[in-house]
Amino acid sequence: MITIPYLTALTTYFSYGLLFAFGQFRDFFRKIFDWWRVNNLQGYAPICLGLEDFYTRRLYLRIQDCFGRPIASAPDAWFDVVERYSNDYNKTLKRTKNKSRCLNLGSYNYLGFAASDEYCTPRVIKSLKRFSPSTCSARVDGGTTTLHTELEESVANFVRKPSAIVLGMGYVTNSAILPVLIGKGGLIISDSLNHNSIVNGARGSGATVRVFQHNTPLHLEKVLREQIAEGQPRTHRPWKKIIVIVEGIYSMEGELCKLPEIVAICKKYKAYVYLDEAHSIGAVGKSGRGVCELLGVDTADVDIMMGTFTKSFGSCGGYIAGSKELIQYLKYSCPAHLYATSISPPAAQQIISAIKVILGEDGTSRGAEKLAQIRENSNFFRSELQKMGFEVLGDNDSPVMPIMLYNPAKIPAFSRGCLMQKVAVVTVAFPATPLLLARARICISAAHTKEDLVKALEVISEVGDLVGIKYFPAEPAKLEQQKMIKMD
């Protein structure tokens, strides 16, 4: 639950209103100028209809230097950020040859596999020499190597499901699988804060889409009852299939899903559960098996488990795990499996090796150490930030922590302030988040040491004071009180 100070809400609306009004003025004058200038595109239709690109041109481009920063090294705990400058108020940005070494608080590098790893990298290089960087073919033609079958078995074993299918890209896993699973006459009930890939897949499937209030099982039950009673729109026939889509960890909130209650409700009303574990697989749970293990839900109750390898495994691609019949059906009909190029062999080898390290099958206990490290790091960081007075979202044990900024002017201020002090953070604004609730999202990694986190806390505290985002009263430190008594 997000608590906003009332005055901040008023000032945020006012700032956005001002930015919007300025944007409209500039557009109006731009229209007048363009009417005067000779137009050599007679007869061509405009690329953008109406005010489709208004937000991009008038709001996003003003602070463009805070987004899309190019990096010049592997996204480990410390990395090189390329410096950029602009001569026309951020409309175009030019890269310089200078790099600055910054602390990385933005990459989804939960277990530290993003940089060179002592177990994974030699094996990846060996498979690169043996199999070449790309299979140059779809899975059904010539793109299935021994690595691919080993990977699917290993993923199914890791997630504790009978079988799995692996696709080359995480976003495509959602947007190409949902249209295959459900079509017209079906119902998709998705959480209101689901990722864009799920929204795209749901829209592309042709099924009716309904949304329930974020992480509220009671509202899900209400929507389910209403929809089952009404049936399909206009004909009122019963639905062919109902799928409820939730995510393990929501990437913008850092919250865990209330999985036990949701699974209980879906069992009661006989709806299928689709769990998207993009951020939680490998990062939470005692042995890294995701949110089912953490919350004690039996994996046989979740019908379709989806995840990506980009976050905790340091690779690319996505998987779907389910029953043998489901995966067999997907292999016959999913276009991403039949026509898209299969996952690159070195990437597949990286995933296999990463899973071995996490489970401890490489002979060392590095996997367990990494999992313990990330849990300790996230809990320490979150509690320290909350003590300083920031508004931090997310549950305990979740490595994603958004710090609320709210005002649109604080977004570039916070981002640039932190970059000047060599800490790279990711700030997110509208339309990825609701209009009022702009935030800076911090992703903790197992590769961060305690000194890194302490330095990050100092920098964030200083910049936070300057920008004014400590919305809650800070807890006074006990040491300071003792010092004051001593001075008296």
Partner 1 sequence: MYVRAVPPTDLNRNTEWFTYPGVWTTYILIVFFSWLVVLSVFNCSPGMAWTIVHLSHFLVTYHCFHWKKGTPFADDQGIYNRLTWWEQIDNGKQLTRNRKFLTVVPVVLYLIASHTTDYQHPMLFLNTVAVFVLVVAKFPHMHKVRLFGINADL
Interaction site with partner 1 (CB under 8 A): 1-6, 9-10, 13-14, 16-17, 48-56, 192-193, 196, 199, 203, 211-214, 219, 430-431, 434-437
HSE, side-chain direction, 13 A CA sphere, residue 409: 13
- Give the nearest distance from C-beta 42 to partner 1 in angstroms: 17
Shortest distance (Å) from residue 59 CB to partner 1 = 8
- CB of residue 212 vs partner 1: minimum separation in angstroms? 7
Q: Measured from the CB of residue 216, what is the shortest distance to partner 1 in angstroms? A: 9
Beta carbons within 8 Å of 252's beta carbon, 6+ residues apart: 193, 402, 428, 432, 433, 439, 441
Return the H-helix or E-strand segment holding 336. Answer: helix 335-338
Q: Are 176 and 335 in contact (CB under 8 A)?
A: yes
> Quick one: 149 or 192, whose CB is closer to partner 1?
192
Minimum Å distance from CB 309 to partner 1? 26
C-beta closer to partner 1: residue 124 or 438: 438
What is the C-alpha separation between 255 and 94, in angstroms, rounded?
37
Widest distance between CA atoms in the chain = 82
Q: State how beta strands 272-276 and 242-247 pair.
A: parallel
Q: Which is nearer to partner 1, 9 or 454 (CB)?
A: 9
Residue 437 or 467 with smaller CB distance to partner 1: 437
Nearer to partner 1, 13 or 22 (CB): 13
Which of 23/360 has CB closer to partner 1? 23
* Residue 182 CB, nearest approach to partner 1 (Å): 18
Q: CB of residue 205 vs partner 1: minimum separation in angstroms? A: 15
Concatenating the DSSP letter of every residue in 395-456 gives -TT-SEEEEE--STTHHHHHHHHHHHTTEE-EEE-TTTS-SS--EEEEE--TT--HHHHHHH
The sheet that has 426-428: what strands, in order across it?
Answer: 400-404, 439-443, 426-428
- Measured CA to CA, the distance from residue 424 to residue 130 in angstroms comes to 37
Query: Between residues 17 and 476, which has the closer beta carbon with respect to partner 1?
Result: 17
Two structure tokens written together for 209 = 């889409």
